[in-house]
Structure formats: structure tokens, C-alpha cells
Amino acid sequence: MAATGAKTIRMAMVGIGVGGAEILPAMESTEGIELYAGADVNPTTRERFKTRYPEAKVYDSIEALCADPDVDAVWVSTPNRLHAPHAVTAANNGKHVVVEKPMALSLREAEQIVEAGRKNNVQVMAGHTMAYSYPIRAMRRIINSGKLGRLTNLQALAYTDWLLRPRSAEELDPNQGGGVPWRQTPHQVDSMRLMGGGKVRSVRGMTGKWGDWRPIEGFYTAYLEFEDGTPCHIIHNGYGYFLTGDLVPWGDSTSRYTPEERGELRRAMRAGTRNEEADKQALRIGGEAEQRVFRQGGGPRPWSPGDLGVVLVCCENGVIRHSKFGLFIYDDDGQHDMDMTSESANPIAQRRGELVEFHASLAAGKPLFHDGIWGMGTIEVALAIMQSARERREIVLSHQVAVPDTYDAELSVPYLDDKA
Ligand SMILES: NC(=O)c1ccc[n+]([C@@H]2O[C@H](COP(=O)([O-])OP(=O)(O)OC[C@H]3O[C@@H](n4cnc5c(N)ncnc54)[C@H](O)[C@@H]3O)[C@@H](O)[C@H]2O)c1
């Protein structure tokens, strides 16, 4: 959405795939962000992008995109192995950068992105994780207010259909960041770090690969211990036999397949008869599944655990979890349902958090919290989970940073206002 007062940032997307399709509606509707250009190697995608956004420029490479002097910032949502090279190319061409999760495939690559940002004096944001969602940020504010006493432990439990969604060849290669541990740790780890203060001391993890129909890891579990000793457990199981959404009494509006369809998909993958490329393209821009999955209009949509899972925040004197349209807070006065419909119940608005932070940083000089250094901390935890699983031991971390105190300043949380 072009600006109605605030300075406009001309944003370009490289890699207009499924991840791109997911963020485009938020980009279209964030004040101060103009979707100015797109680049992709896939000609069908380029054509569909042009049809959707006739005003936008279209390029077939990151180099051509970066040669455009009118591009202010590049959103990197190409496959994982290209995140670092594309983010560095954009920064070296003087463009600000948002890089999709996982930020990079090694700490060395993440450092190269941070370094390129520093050297070229451009902002680097480690983007597109659930940590930007309003309920998670509200949970953090309630923890930090001290109203429920000290944080005692954190949990996130996700059972999803991640392995059943269509995957490209590169997503099936663990050396290119394929599999649930690479793709899904950023959502849970970023969110847990945000609530636990940022600095994880150590990690003990285990990963799992047991589907004969998918040659990549579909499971991880990890115990993270924060610097102050706060324990945290995270689990993601992407095999799709059971979904955490099944536990939600109001139903899961985000599940893509019925249990029967999930069985059919497993059988088709075992038999090698599924046309995954066609299924994947259907989810990308202009595809028949894109509208249903990423561009649902209508009224507020109830919260669903999705890929983040059921989150439990436990404090000395209470517990917090998601409610249908906000948060349940359990304290000594009972159970409160804190309504956040305006901020949390529109999935498109949910995705705007990072764009708003990015825009505020470029247009108004406000701090960028989820920067490259923060992203490196999240990648370090992901790598430690995989190393711990291989070596069957606890890994102690060294690249962790705290969330600055100023992070919470502008988020209003009704529960805290009521209790003031
Ligand atoms: N944050 C989220 O919730 C979320 C959701 C989905 C995907 N993602 C991320 O998005 C990234 C891509 O995954 P995807 O599922 O969208 O895959 P995808 O294959 O649909 O998208 C990748 C796109 O990049 C294009 N591409 C490949 N090489 C390129 C190059 N050299 N130059 C320009 N374009 C190129 C492809 O043609 C494709 O359109 C991954 O890093 C993934 O983790 C994030």
C-alpha cells in the first residue's frame, strides 16, 4: 500500500514462491510499503506477477533487480541455499534487506549477511517468523510486566502436515536446508527467544526421519535452557497423522487436508505418482490454491496453532496461552479471555508486524529489533539442535543476544491496562 503520509519504501521481492505468496497480501496492505518489483527465474511466476501487479517491474535475476536504482529494499524469499548470496548481493547494491527464515545455512553465511549490511550501511532484517505475531508479543509484554511473577517455563508443541505439503527438489535436500528442523525451528525458536529474553545458554535436541515417503527429517524436539536457567521445550512433528489444531475446540481453519486426503497423499508419494511441482505451483502466485490458503478474506479468523503450535507460558503466579481471538490468562482471579480481535484475528494483519517494524526503521529511524545479529542467534539454536541430535550431547551457545528493553514500547495489552 502506498503511503498516506509516511515515507514510502519501494520493496522488491526475489523468489516469488509459496513463502512469497504468503507475505504478498500483507505487503499490499501495509502503509508505506510499495510493492515495486519482483524477480524470479520461473517464467510462469513472472507472468502471473505481472498480471497481478501491472504497475510493478519484473526481472529474471537478482542482479537485474538490484541494478534498478529505484528499488529501496529487497525481500529475499528464494530457496534457503540462496538466502545468503542474494541478501549479500542486495546489500552490496545498497538495498536494505529482509531475509526469509531460515536466515542462512551456517553461522558463517549469517555473518556474511550481517557484515554486508554493516559495510554498505543498509538494514538487514531476519524476517517472516511467527515471533512477529501480536499474541506472542503480548505474551512477552505480560511476562515482562511482572504481573504474573517470574517466568518459570515455556513450551511450544506443533503437530502439523508440513511433510505432506508439496515440496520442490531442493526442499528435499538436507544440505540445502530441507526438512522440518531447518524450516520450522525459526518460528518456535524466535518466539521462545523473544519471550525468554533472547539468550539461550544451551540446547539438547533430537531429530527424526521415519517416513518412507519423505527422505528428509520431519521431526525435532529440543530442550533449551535460557541464560537465567528458565527451561523451554519445543517440538515439531510434520508427519500429519495428528494435528495440534485437532485439540482446539473451535476447530482448525488452517488445515489444508482432511485425514483421508493426508492418507491419499502419503500413498501417492510412496508410489511416486504425485505431481508435486504442479501442486507447488498451485500455491504460488495466481495458482488455484493460493487464494484458498493465503488470501482468504472475510471476517476475523479464530486462532489456530498452525506451524508454531500450542504455546504455554508459565509464570510463578499464572499461565498464558492463545484463546480464540486473543489470549487466555490464568491468574489468582481466575481465567481471563483477553480480546485482541483487531490485532490478531486477521491472518493478513498478523503478517504485517515485520513490515511495520521494517518500515518504521527505514522511514522514521526507529530501532530494528529482528536484525541480522538477532537472526544469527536463532540460526545458532537451529544448528545446535541438529548438532546435538547427531552427537547426543548438550551444546553450549555463544552468539545469543538479549531483546532490548525498548522492544515492547508501542504494543497495547488490555490485560495490563485493566490491571494497572
Ligand atoms: N515464513 C514462512 O512462513 C514461510 C513459508 C513458506 C516458505 N518460506 C520460505 O520461503 C523460501 C522459499 O520456499 P518456498 O516454499 O516459497 O519455495 P518456492 O520454490 O515456492 O519459492 C522459491 C522461488 O524462488 C525462485 N527462484 C529459485 N532460484 C532463483 C534465483 N536464482 N533467482 C530468482 N528466483 C529464484 C523459484 O522459481 C520460486 O518461485 C524458503 O526459504 C522458505 O523457508 C517461509
- CA of 307, closest atom in ligand 1: 3
pLDDT tens digits for range 270-297: 999 999 999 999 999 999 999 888 887 6
Helices H / strands E in the chain, number of each: 15, 15
Does pLDDT of 298 surpass 80? no
| Secondary-structure breakdown of the chain: helix, strand, coil percentages, each rounded to the nearest 5 | 40, 20, 35
Q: Give the angle 348-351-355 at the CA atoms, nearest 5°.
A: 120
Ligand 1 site-directed mutation target among 75, 77, 379, most atoms within 8 Å of CB: 77
For 155, phi and psi rounded to 5 degrees?
A: -140, 145
Task: Name the residue at shortest CA distance from atom 5 of ligand 1.
Answer: 19
pLDDT tens digits for range 86-96: 999 999 999 99
Check residue 252 and give its pLDDT: 76
pTM, rounded to two decimals: 0.95
Tell me, in angstroms, the distance from the centre of ligand 1 to residue 117's CA.
22
3-state secondary structure of 128: coil
Ligand 1 site-directed mutation target among 16, 23, 40, most atoms within 8 Å of CB: 40
Domains and CATH numbers, the chain: 9-129+348-370 (3.40.50.720), 131-347+378-419 (3.30.360.10)
pLDDT tens digits for range 23-82: 999 999 899 999 999 999 999 999 999 999 999 999 999 999 999 999 999 999 999 999
Cα(359)–Cα(7) distance, rounded to whole angstroms? 8
Check residue 420 and give its pLDDT: 55
